[in-house]
Amino acid sequence: MSSSPPRAITDLHSHLVPGVDDGAASVAESLEALRQLRSEGVVRLVTTPHILLPRLDTDAAVERELERQRSAFDTLRVAAAGRDDVPAFALGQEIWAPDVAQAARIARHPALGLGGTDYLLIEFGFDLQGDHTDVVTLVLDSGRRVIVAHPERYAYLPEHDPIETMQRWRELGALLQVNVGSFGGHYLSGRPRSAELAWQMVELGIADLLSTDHHGPRRSGVSPVEAYDALVARGRAADARRLMELNPGAIARGDVLTPLSHPVAPVGEMPQHAAAGHRRPEGP
Ligand SMILES: [Fe+2]
């Protein structure tokens, strides 16, 4: 059992829209996952079914997929109405955009974003083909904000150092999302460096938020409590709160979070850049 204080976690990456991707397969599975997350302190969640752009040949195919996801999400919303044992939840997407041509198809799409915000959760594909800075730049130049999904799980090209590449994404303005399962080594069999990179990202101050990437009952390694407590156990309680409560909470509200280059904070202190609700003075 956890000895940490009560939490108000916001989870911005999960696959809990029933029956639309490789996540929860039914309303019952979705509700059970939501109930489990609420019991672990998740009060707010944006669920993010896959939008696999390379497999959606045309704009019409993208629209059909979005409509399919919206419809299944509405079914879940109706099923959860009135329940007080699940988090408040909204709809987003995890968008597979491996190159600029794919990213350009959707960057300005008004129906895309985490819970109606400007933030797009982007994945580049697990085996990177470049440094993908061009994708980050294109999406940002389109007036959207970028969250890179689980960079600790990618296989980087030999000429690209993972941490340096992540720092480049961040310096361009992207935020970096780490999966909670990475801290306990959940992805080590496929990605041997994922745990080491996840911890390094926290220690270097280049992790911006942690999320479950919950795929329903057939996958483990999705406990927010385990990750939260693992950080606390390493003297990183302030990071745990920032990465699981404050930052994702601010993003879900549509506030602007700005990644800074050198935000390493002493243990126990809240890094200045991480204050929820930090707003850019002007612009879109
Ligand atoms: Fe995902």
Domain boundary assignment for the chain: 9-257
The pLDDT score that the predictor gives to residue 258 is 77
> Which residues of the chain have a pLDDT value below 50?
1-3, 261-284
- C-alpha of residue 110 to centroid of ligand 1, in Å: 21
> 6-35, pLDDT tens digit by residue?
689 999 999 999 999 999 999 999 999 999
- C-alpha of residue 122 to centroid of ligand 1, in Å: 9
The pLDDT score that the predictor gives to residue 5 is 56
- C-alpha of residue 42 to centroid of ligand 1, in Å: 17
- C-alpha of residue 95 to centroid of ligand 1, in Å: 9
- C-alpha of residue 22 to centroid of ligand 1, in Å: 9
The pLDDT score that the predictor gives to residue 218 is 85
> What gap in Å lies between CA 20 and CA 52, rounded to an integer?
12
Residue 199's SS3 state is: helix
- C-alpha of residue 15 to centroid of ligand 1, in Å: 6
Count of CB atoms situated within 10 Å of the CB of 269? 8
**Residues forming beta bridges with residue 90, ordered by sequence position:** 46
CA dihedral angle for residue 198, residue 182, residue 44, residue 216, rounded to 10 degrees: 160
- C-alpha of residue 176 to centroid of ligand 1, in Å: 13
The pLDDT score that the predictor gives to residue 262 is 40
The structure tokens listed for 175 are 């935020």
The structure tokens listed for 66 are 């979005």
Contact (Cβ atoms closer than 8 angstroms) between residue 267 and residue 238: yes
- C-alpha of residue 52 to centroid of ligand 1, in Å: 11
- C-alpha of residue 268 to centroid of ligand 1, in Å: 30
> 61-90, pLDDT tens digit by residue?
999 999 999 999 999 999 999 999 999 999
Residue burial 27-43, b: 16+ Cβ < 10 Å; e: rest: bebbbbbbebbbebbbb
- C-alpha of residue 283 to centroid of ligand 1, in Å: 30
- C-alpha of residue 14 to centroid of ligand 1, in Å: 6
| Burial of 9 per CB tally in 10 Å (0-12, 13-18, 19+) | buried
The pLDDT score that the predictor gives to residue 187 is 96
The structure tokens listed for 38 are 């609420």
| Burial of 97 per CB tally in 10 Å (0-12, 13-18, 19+) | buried
The pLDDT score that the predictor gives to residue 236 is 97
The pLDDT score that the predictor gives to residue 259 is 80
pTM of the model: 0.90
- C-alpha of residue 142 to centroid of ligand 1, in Å: 23
Contact (Cβ atoms closer than 8 angstroms) between residue 168 and residue 195: no
- C-alpha of residue 49 to centroid of ligand 1, in Å: 7
The pLDDT score that the predictor gives to residue 200 is 98
- C-alpha of residue 94 to centroid of ligand 1, in Å: 6
Contact (Cβ atoms closer than 8 angstroms) between residue 208 and residue 147: yes
CA distances from 209 to 32, 70, 99, 238 (A): 24, 25, 24, 13
The pLDDT score that the predictor gives to residue 32 is 97
- C-alpha of residue 103 to centroid of ligand 1, in Å: 17
- C-alpha of residue 148 to centroid of ligand 1, in Å: 11
- C-alpha of residue 97 to centroid of ligand 1, in Å: 13
The pLDDT score that the predictor gives to residue 9 is 98
- C-alpha of residue 50 to centroid of ligand 1, in Å: 7
Among the CATH numbers 3.40.50.1000, 3.80.10.10, 3.40.50.2000, 3.20.20.140, which is that of 9-257?
3.20.20.140
